[in-house]
Structure 1
Amino acid sequence: MRAAVLNEVGGDLSIVELTATDLVAGEVLIKVHGVGVCHTDLTVIDGALAQQTPIVLGHEGSGVVEAVGPGVTELAVGDHVVCSFTSCGQCKRCAAGAPAYCTRFALLNYAGVRPDGSTTLADRDGSPVHGSWFGQSSWATHAVASVANAVKVDDALPLATLGPLGCGLLTGAGAVFNVHRPKPGQSYGVWGLGPVGLAAIMAAKASGCDPIIGVDPNPARRELALEIGATAVHEPSDDLAKDIVRETRGGLDFTVEAVGAAPVIRQALMALASPGSCVTVGFRGPKNPVDVNQGHLLQGRSLRGVIEGDADPHELIPRLVQMWADGRFPFDKLITTYAFDDIATAIADFRAGSVVKPVLLP
């Protein structure tokens, strides 16, 4: 297999030959057909989320099952799958239908190794290479995943472009469907029109929200937001929250903040009606202090952080796929594809904001 390896924080990725170690119980080997570039991957490259190196990143993979490990009956060779985050499936949070808050989430998704300390990847000399990033490490031609995070999809679907459903799009849509659960006619605002924010726009549209307001400094993204469901868009400004409260005659019922910057979080909160709810999903590392006005919260408003859209991937991914088939979740309009060897260009374009969701084709 070929994989993009990060050897040091802040360094360039190197595409090299690796091998997958023997599959253990519950694991599957996937031939990757497409994999997204996500902001969370960049937090590792930039050092905001510490990981051991060398490591293979990538956590929005889709592909075909090529081999199954001991005891696997849920998937078979030839199945088409979308990979998401993984979870233990046994703790009280998983049992309660909240796998995004699995008590072993960090161990299973961030540790770079299996729970027993072994790695899923090795270099030509047999030296271990950290993988298991979100249970997959799919910036590669092949990925080791598991029945817990590989979601089977219909063979007729455009497999190469489905990967982002496993994280970024799942997060934005899940914030709407699983957390806010708006009723038709309720108002919605989204700060940050990247893949997460635009997924929230599409989900708000599918939920019948009105108005739906998008906020972003990038004019191309504001235009795209209007195309896929926003009723109005704005460039950020110091007085924007006040303007929105005035224009909506009291503020928005719900807002999503997909940037992670303290001023943006405060503005999304200040634009709420009373009562109202703001969800923050933007990630800038585990230490990101934010201060808010308690008096604003005391008026019945809430600010809540959300991981992975509060989603169970095995439930939400098939729902989003069906919505896409019905024309109600046109996520394909967000995607730009790149050859796998052009990963550096894809990342640079993503950082520059010239593309919304790069998808690599190994």
Structure 2
Amino acid sequence: MKIEAAVSRPGTPAPAFEELELEAPRAGEMRVRIVATGICHTDVHEHPGRHSPQPIVLGHEGAGVVEEVGEGVRDFAAGDHVILSGASCGACPSCANNRPTYCDQAMPRCFGGQRMDGSTALCAGDETIHSHFFGQSSFASHVIATDRTAVKVDKDLPLEKLGPLGCGVITGAGSVIEALKVGYGDTIAIFGVGGVGLSAVMAANLVGARRIVAVDLAEDRLELARELGATDTILASEDDIAGKLRAITGRGLDYTLNTTNVPAVHTTALDCLAMNGTAAFVAAPLGQWAPAMFPMLAGGKMLRGILGGDASPSLFLPKLIDYWRQGRFPFDRLLTFYPFHDIARAFEDIEAGKVIKPVLMMEANDAA
């Protein structure tokens, strides 16, 4: 069928709209009509072609309605409402342990721009267009997604708000709840309060952390962090951030979560830990960086990388939705809506830090 999609091509400032051909779902796949999709920094970083082949349709925070299912799909039917998350094989040890973000095939399935057999679901005439970005490629009116990529949700939920749950929100909240298992009375500092960091702030507040410190360069984001549960905030441009953080508790933090790729911030996130503390990160340092090993040894400290919040979308996203219904996890306060055809403006705004989580609406008149 013919669809409209925003295609990333070399040398362009943002994805541009084209009419493409989308093939029918194969075994284990479904066709989903996209209602809305979030834009993640990963999309922005991948647009120039860092890891994925081009031309490609990006987008990996989609939400929509199932229109057709392929052979062997048992848990979904036409008309179901779904959130789309990452791709995984379902057979490796990580998938068997409900940790699909650490799937043995995670990189080729999410960044390869094709199915594992080398085929794609998209074309423009005779030209191959790469698809299946994170198992979905949701910068499009319709997508082909695997059944493992989809999470069914109740039809009374606002689909236009749910897409960001599949990546940015699950990464922040899952890092706190699933990976670090922050509990009542614990202390945590969160570096960078964009979509991932603010989701972590809300999760730490949800589980009853005693001190939740937000660190960022932007005063307006720190103010929002306070509204969402941060007990303390520090402007990242101040001197001796690690010392200020240690002073808040008198001994340092039990946990830190770094959402930035700044090497100096990675150092600070380790320096401010209490004995036996854990410094977690969801973005690798940009450039050369090495931790100070003796303080880690002497303090029994841990440095830990986290992908996708260590969370299984099919198990964790329904919990976050329940918390949202209860008014305890107001992730929708992070969202700014754009008509689908304003994708270039949305890319500009997220790169400039004007918005936290842009969401593209497939119908322009639905945008707020």
TM-score normalised by the chain length of structure 2: 0.95
Q: What amino acid is the match of 1:85?
A: G
Identity in percent: 42
Q: 1:277-328 deviations in whole A, cap 9, x for unaligned? A: 11100257xx753211112211111111111111111011111101101111
Structure 1 contact 61–82 (Cα < 8 Å) conserved:
yes
1:172 equivalenced with 2:172 (yes/no): yes
Residue of structure 2 equivalent to 1:281: 282
Counterpart residue type for residue 308 of structure 1: G
Distance 1:270 1:56 in 2: 41
Measure the CA separation in 1 of the matches of 2:188 and 2:213.
6
- Secondary structure class of the residue paired with 2:260: coil
AA at the equivalent of 2:82: V
Number of the residue aligned with 2:296? 297
Give the SS at the match of 1:29: strand
What are the residue-to-residue correspondences of 1:1-362 with 2, within 5 Å?
1-9=3-11, 11-47=13-49, 49-123=50-124, 125-236=125-236, 237-283=238-284, 288-298=287-297, 299-362=299-362
SS at match of 1:188: strand
Contact between 2:9 and 2:48, CA under 8 Å: does it hold in 1? no
Aligned counterparts of 2:61 and 2:51: Cα–Cα separation in 1? 20
- Equivalence for 2:365: none
SS of the residue corresponding to residue 274 of structure 1 reads strand
Question: What residue ranges of structure 1 are gaps of 5+ in the alignment?
Answer: none
d(CA) in 1 for partners of 2:301, 2:319: 29
Which residue identity lines up with residue 291 of structure 2 in the other structure?
V
Alpha-carbon separation, structure 1, partners of 2:212 and 2:260: 18
Which whole-Å CA distance do the structure 2 matches of 1:92 and 1:155 have between them?
Answer: 33
Write out per-residue CA displacement over residues 86-121 of structure 1, whole angstroms, 9 at most, x where no aligned residue.
111011221122211111111211111111111011
Return the offset for 1:11: 4.0
Q: Relative to 1, partners in 2 of residues 1:338 and 1:308: Cα closer, same or farther, differing over 3 Å?
A: same
Separation in structure 1 between the aligned mates of residue 316 and residue 288 of structure 2, nearest angstrom: 31
Counterpart AA for 2:142: H
| Aligned length, in residue pairs | 358
Which portions of structure 1, spanning 4 or more consecutive aligned residues, are displaced by more than 3 angstroms?
Answer: 9-12
* Counterpart-to-counterpart distance in 2, 1:10 and 1:282: 25
CA contact (8 A) 2:10 2:48 kept: no
Instruction: Give 2:281's aligned amino acid.
Output: T
User: Could you tell me whether the CA contact under 8 Å between 2:335 and 2:358 is conserved in 1?
Assistant: yes
Q: Tell me the alpha carbon deviations over residues 112-131 of structure 1, each in whole angstroms, 9 at most, x when there is no partner.
A: 111111101111x1422001
Query: What TM-score does the superposition give when structure 1 sets the normalisation length?
Result: 0.96
Deviations 1:47-95 (A, max 9, x none): 4x32211100000000000111112111000000000001110112211
Shift of residue 337, structure 1, vs aligned partner: 0.3
* 8 A contact 2:9–2:56 mirrored in 1: yes
Deviation digits for residues 155-174 of structure 1, max 9, x if unmatched? 01111110000001000011
CA contact (8 A) 1:9 1:45 kept: no
The one-letter amino acid of 1:102's match is C
Change (3 A) 1:288 1:95: farther
